Structure 1
Amino acid sequence: MEFSAEDDEAMRQYMPSQFGKKDGGVDVEGQIARAKRKVVDESKQDKGDDDDKDSDDDSDDMSDEEDEFPVSHEVIIKTHDRAITTIALDASGTRLITGSNDCTLKLHDLSALTPNTIRAFKTVDPFATKSSAAAESHSIHQVLFGPHSGGQFLCITATPQARIFSRDGDQIAEFVKGDMYLRDKHNTKGHTSEITSAAWHPMNRDRFVTAGTDSTVRIWDVKKRMKQEEVIVHKSRAAGSAGMTRLTTIAWGAAAEGNSSMLVAAALDGSLVMWAGEGPYHRPTAEIRDAHVKDTWTSGLDISADGRLVITRGGDDTIKLWDTRKFKTPINTTSHSSTSSQYPTSNIKFAPNSQSIVTGSETGHLHILNPATLRPELVTPVTPGSPLICVNWHPKLNQIFTGSANGQTTILFNPSLSTAGALTILSKAPKKRHLDDDPNLTVDMDPLGMAGEGHDTGGKSGGPTPGSFASRHPTVGLTASGRSRDPRRPHIPAVTPFAKSTPDQKYVMEQIDGSDMRDEDPREALLKYAPKPGEKNVFTGAWDKTQPKGIYKDYDSDEDERESKRVKK
């Protein structure tokens, strides 16, 4: 039987080329090459026939764009099931946190990920600390790391209360909610309705500001959660006699002159308001009544690093650039389709060097604009057909992080311009995993979500995920109602709000001085100090000689005592 050349080639593909231990080196260049994306600049495709160039010129232009912006390569993170509403990174660029409409936060450690294990190491439900009886879920509006410390981050949800978490996802503080029945907003200790946006102080790590739908801006100290430091009530001239409107977004940046700062907020009545960042707050420094069309949601707002420019992205399909020194009319205006009606957290950002402006679009394209003219310098598709909601350009990594409506987080980078981040992921060898290490199968083994992309949030989906560990082992774990599937395991009673507010034994023992004496027998406590035979009486020795003698009658036995009591009766 004769074999053809094709059969020989098929045999070589089937049989191993070598035996024994192989080199475990990492082909970093190959992994980076596989992450390369086709950069398509659609802003230069519709210029007409007169502007046609040769293919060599086009390739030169595309290479120039790749060298100018970090968009030549990409790494995709798919850890959410619904739209990504916010993205935050710490100052070092190692901790990535994404928030979504699925009401959860995903924590990613970029320094620990490998090319085939790109997933969140922890899932945080901001309302998981509440009891099962009062369980609630709200969309995540914003997540912000402090400007000078990555040890904690601020979380804004669709509630009147802001929350601060540690970088590991542990809640540190929950700020107070105001009394909604007080008409004067100056007298409430917190927001009385939903918070829409927040911002950290550009220099003070202990101060941040929140803006809400109760028409107030409130400045907080991270160490004082029971009351805000300052309250700014925005009186809308276009809202009628009540003067109340919804504040949609806020930014806190450095001022153009001096070491002070400034606050800029946008409202639903179309106004754009500026205050001095350090006060006084009773009167705005400047106000533009018709910055955007009334009753449209201005979702994007950012201040340049030098404090001279303000960029806004309105719900009226426009992007406007403002000069803080002449805060009356926009410097430039350009048309841009808005996604704020469906995704109110759609943002717009200055580049770290303020030489570019980056934002997304409803078509899933990333737009990089020139701040002088607002003309697009690069328009490239990231998630075609799915709106690009939030963007974040990290200054240290020089990488662009984007979040889309399909739940995808994309890291755009350039190997020659970027550092760490996605390059750290691709510089590692793919992790060798056992079949049981598949996150789709082991996600329910860790109730805190440390081993996979998610965790059980109390049976909200109505039962275990098909193919999960709980579905394959029905006698292990808990049912949707919280009862144990194992009949040998006792049922853990639910923690009610009353029981949660009642101090337990551990709290009393640790917080109340002398509480450990309540279970002690007083007689035994006194006998500890009783002197032994032949020992000097230290505590009551002064009364040994002056102690009066007893005048009570002594009975010889218990029967004599009972007889005397009968006679008295």
Structure 2
Amino acid sequence: CKRNVPAHVMSIIVQMFSFFFLSGRKARTFDLDAIFEQTRRTAIERSQHVLGKFINIVYTITTHLNHSCLLLPFLSIHFNVHPQNPVKKIPATHEITLQHGTKTVSALGLDPSGARLVTGGYDFDVRFWDFAGMDQALQAFRSLQPCECHQIRSLQYSMTGDVILVVSGNAQAKVLDRDGFNVMECVKGDQYIVDMANTKVRLSSAHIYCQIIDSDSFFVLWDLTVRTWDLNSEKKHKSVFKPRSFQGKKVIPTCCTYSRDGKLVAAGCQDGTVQIWDRNLSVHTKFHCRQAHTPGSDISCLTFSYDGMTLATRGGDDTLKTWDIRKFAKPVAVATGLTNYFSMTDCCFSPDDKLLVTGTSVKKDEGQGKLVFFDRTSFQRLYEIEVTNASVVRCLWHPKLNQIMVGTGNGLAKIYYDPAKSHRGAKLCVVKSKRKEKQAELLTQDYIITPHALPMFREARQRSTRKQLEKDRLDPKKSHKPEPPVSGPGRGGRVAAHGGTLSSFIVKNIALDITDDSNPREAILRHAKDALEKPYWIAPAYKKTQPDPLFAEESDEDEEANKEPEWKKRKI
């Protein structure tokens, strides 16, 4: 037994036996073979787990040194452990589709906890999706247009997840809270001042990007410059970075980003250059590559790896490149043939930094937009996902959820996940059944049953006492309910007999119901003889109260005044 069982397990078994035998109690029966087998399996699993971590570390180091081909046979023979295939880590076994609209989804934002997703598009809408509150219907809980009739270009959560930065095609950036209410709006500034350091901001409507980075609430947006702003001071920028060409002329940056630690600010420009500054030194660039991509092709995305050593760039020249920050003169690897029709096409690293993901663009009804996965070290195409028959514009791989969010050119936002490898997020809503919709009664015609409940009659109701509320409940105008039928002798000036209104009572009890409708003239003239013989209701009724009429007599002066002058008389 001592050969197969560890020492601490054997000591526990000996103490257990001695306790039962020496105390004089009846000992419990144990299956020693099962205990030994379980202990042996646990020791093997732990040793394999530790060896697996060690082998993956050694494999990563040797891959960078290009000696993996010599070491792999040794590892596989002596340790019987192979490095894990990175394709198996891609969470792409299941997917859900969120219907944002009918136009391009040009912006995606996911909070750090992974609880809420925001999508923005060319239809000017920003939609909020809550994974914990959604069911299988997959409906957004809020939709708004924060920038009116301007396309949404970028959405970014802060590091704490309490605010969202929204940038559209107009010249002002907005900051919203988690529920979509406005927190701050940047000033528009003077758009015709040449010296960019002396103006507040001069934004271009065609190119704009943003990012919130750290606890100081800085974010970056750009026009002909790259600026850092403080969320607590909307009228003042912190610093200005001015990209320059090789001849020292101004160039337009097309994308910019922070490094993971927030110490570097990188920008890709229209002339194909990539320029990187130290965050605290805005005058001269720290790293500069003149021809990173083809001049004239907009660089659509820059992203840093999680270790901060590699920079990935997605170009408008249908390429994807990786750069080593320490040797920034030449790219480490280049992938071609990746069609790009949008100025905001994304690329991102996997949470373990071993894969690089980007999307491809296609023309309408001419193919399938794909999500392409590359190995970071060898830069080989490891995997592809055909997303839809439209371009793949945005992609986001959340490290906590281990889920991939994709925005497409036909208004869809897709989420890829693996039930075994992903956590929360889309898994929360797919297990909930759809809520039953309340069926409302259908009316053949739109009737206004309670006219005083319309918005035009609504008034701000103040707090009142109980007696006042009871009186208001009886008033149909204040209680917003129709008048009920009156029973009994009547109430409040309303007659109860033969109907609920005074007009119905008169029609029922006076002349119209008594007379014969066949000859209405005779019904009217039957009182004419009494009116001539006894005219009490016409003139005699006013003799006692009215004075006698006195009329003024006409004088000669009045007659002369009434005469028409000679020049007005008609000539014959």
Range into which the TM-score falls when normalised by the shorter chain: 0.5 to 0.7
- 1:307 maps to what in 2? 308
Q: Which residue of 2 aligns with 1:236?
A: 245
Residue 105 of structure 2 corresponds to residue 103 of structure 1: no
Quote the Cα distance in structure 2 between the aligned partners of 1:218 and 1:387.
31
> Secondary structure, in 3 states, of the residue corresponding to 1:312?
strand
The aligned amino acid for 1:358 is V
Could you tell me how far apart the structure 1 residues matched to 2:151 and 2:353 are? 31
Q: Select which of 392, 396, 414 maps to 1:392.
A: 396
Is the 2:91–2:417 Cα contact (8 Å) retained in structure 1? Answer: yes
* Alpha carbons 1:268, 1:297 under 8 Å: kept: yes
Give the partner amino acid of 1:269. D
Amino acid across the alignment from 2:414? T
Measure how far apart 1:225 and its partner are.
0.1
Name the structure 2 match of 1:323. 324
- 1:459-474 map, 5 Å: none
The SS at the match of 2:150 is coil
CA contact (8 A) 1:298 1:314 kept: yes
Q: Does 1:352 align with 2:357?
A: no
Q: Distance in 2 between matches of 1:472 and 1:145?
A: 48
Distance 1:487 1:184, change over 3 A: same
Question: Alignment partner for residue 190 of structure 2, among 179, 196, 202?
Answer: 179
Quick check: 1:282 aligned with 2:287? no
Distance 1:209 1:263 in 2: 9
Structure 1 residue 265 displacement after superposition: 0.6
Q: Is the 8 A contact 1:75 1:410 kept in 2?
A: yes
Secondary structure at 2:371 match in 1: strand
Give secondary structure in 1 for the equivalent of 2:427: helix
Does the CA-based 8 Å contact 2:164-2:177 persist in structure 1? Answer: yes
What whole-Å deviation, never above 9, does each CA across 1:205-264 have from its counterpart, x for those lacking one? 41111122xx200000010001111111222236xx7x2222111110136xxxx61111
Distance 2:275 2:457 in 1: 56
Q: For the Cα contact (< 8 Å) 1:305–1:354, is it kept in 2? A: yes
Aligned residues: 367
Partner Cα separation in structure 2 for residue 311 and residue 77 of structure 1: 28
Which of 192, 196, 209 does residue 208 from structure 2 map onto? 196
After superposition, the C-alpha distances for 1:10-42 in whole angstroms (9 at most, x for unaligned) are xxxxxxxxxxxxxxxxxxxxxxxxxxxxxxxxx
Asked whether 1:89 is paired with 2:114, we answer no
Q: CA deviation at 1:430?
A: 2.6
The structure with more radius of gyration: 2
* Kept after mapping to 1: 8 A contact 2:175/2:182: yes
Q: Greater relative contact order: 1 or 2 (C-alpha under 8 angstroms, separation 6 or more)?
A: 1
Deviation at 1:486, TM superposition (A): 11
Read off the aligned partner of 1:397 and give its amino acid letter: L
2:142 paired residue number: 122
Larger helix fraction of residues: 2
The equivalent residue for 1:546 is: none
Tell me, what secondary structure is at the counterpart of 2:259? strand
Q: Is the contact between residue 197 and residue 211 of structure 1 (CA under 8 Å) also seen in structure 2?
A: yes
Of 251, 270, 279, 1:268 maps to 270
| CA separation of 1:290 and 1:67: change in aligned 2, threshold 3 A | closer
SS at match of 1:424: helix
Give the AA of the match of 2:434: P
> What residue is the counterpart of 1:217 in the other structure?
226
Shift of 1:64: 6.9
* TM-score normalised per structure 2: 0.60
| 1:140 matches 2:141 | no
CA RMSD of aligned residues (A): 2.8
**1:50-65 to 2 correspondences below 5 Å:** none
Q: Secondary structure at the match of 2:373?
A: strand
Deviation at 1:487, TM superposition (A): 13
SS in structure 2 of the partner of residue 353 of structure 1 = coil
Given candidates 156, 160, 178, the residue that maps to 2:167 is 156
Deviation for aligned residue 1:375: 1.4
- Does residue 378 (structure 1) correspond to residue 380 (structure 2)? The answer is no
Q: Deviations over 1:137-195 (max 9, x none)?
A: 11111100112x11111111112211110010111000112211211000011234235
Q: Distance in 1 between matches of 2:86 and 2:376?
A: 17
The CA deviation string for residues 274-333 of structure 1, in whole angstroms up to 9 with x for no partner, is 0012x1111111211111111111102101111100000101111111011111110111
Q: Is the 8 A contact 2:320 2:338 kept in 1?
A: no
Find the partner of 2:256 among 250, 255, 270: 250
Q: C-alpha distance in 2, partners of 1:103/1:245?
A: 28
Q: Take 1:301 and 1:474, find their aligned partners in 2: how far apart are those partners?
A: 59
Stretches of structure 1 that go unaligned for 5 or more consecutive residues are 1-62, 128-135, 442-468, 477-484, 493-569
Q: Specify the SS of the correspondent of 2:208.
A: strand
- The separation in 2 between residues aligned to 1:370 and 1:67, in whole angstroms, is 13
What is the aligned partner in structure 2 of residue 554 from structure 1? none
Report the Cα distance in structure 2 between the residues aligned to 1:352 and 1:434, rounded to whole angstroms.
Answer: 43
1:322 & 1:250 partners in 2: Cα distance? 15
Distance in 2 of aligned mates of 1:395 and 1:472: 54
